[in-house]
Amino acid sequence: MNEILAQGPGPGAWMLLAALLFAIGVYGVLTRRNLVAILVSVELMANAVNLNLVTLSRTHGSLTGQSFALFTIALTVAEVVVGLALVILVHRTHRDIDADAPSRLRG
C-alpha cells in the first residue's frame, strides 16, 4: 500500500484537475462582468492547458509537451500585459471596469 501512495496521483487525476480548472475558467468568463475577473478566468484556462501539456508529456516520456507549456506561459504573460493595458485604458476612459464599458464607445 505504501508503494502506491509513494507514486502519487496518476495522469487521470491530473487530467481531471485540468478539466475542472478549465471548466471554472469558462464559467468565470461567461458570468463575470468585471474585466479583471475575466482576465483571471482566462489565465485559469491557460493554466489548465499547461497542466494537460505537462501531464501528457510526462506520460509519454517526451519533452515536447513541456517545451510547448513553456512557450504558452510566455504567450500568457504577453496576453496579461496587453489585457491589463486595455483594462487600464477602459478605466481611464469610463472610470469603470465593467465589460460593457467598451461597447458604449459606439454611440
Instruction: Tell me what the mean pLDDT of segment 70-75 comes to.
Output: 92
How many contiguous H segments (helices) and E segments (strands) does the chain have? 4, 0
H helices of 8-34, in order, are: 11-31
Distance (Å, whole) CA 14 – CA 54: 10
Q: What is the pLDDT of residues 8-62, one digit of tens each?
A: 788 899 999 999 999 999 999 999 888 888 899 999 999 999 999 999 998 888 8
Task: Report pLDDT for 42.
Answer: 93
Point out which residues pair with 34 in neighbouring strands: 98
Task: Report pLDDT for 61.
Answer: 85
Is the Cβ–Cβ distance between 63 and 54 less than 8 Å?
A: no
DSSP helix/strand/coil, 34: strand
Residue 5: which pLDDT band, with cuts at 50, 70 and 90? low
Rg (CA), the chain: 18
pTM exceeds 0.85 for this model: no
HSE-up of residue 84 (Cα within 13 Å, Cβ side): 8
Task: Report pLDDT for 94.
Answer: 74
Q: Which of 78, 77, 75, 102 is CA-nearest to residue 88?
A: 102
Per-domain boundaries in the chain: 34-97
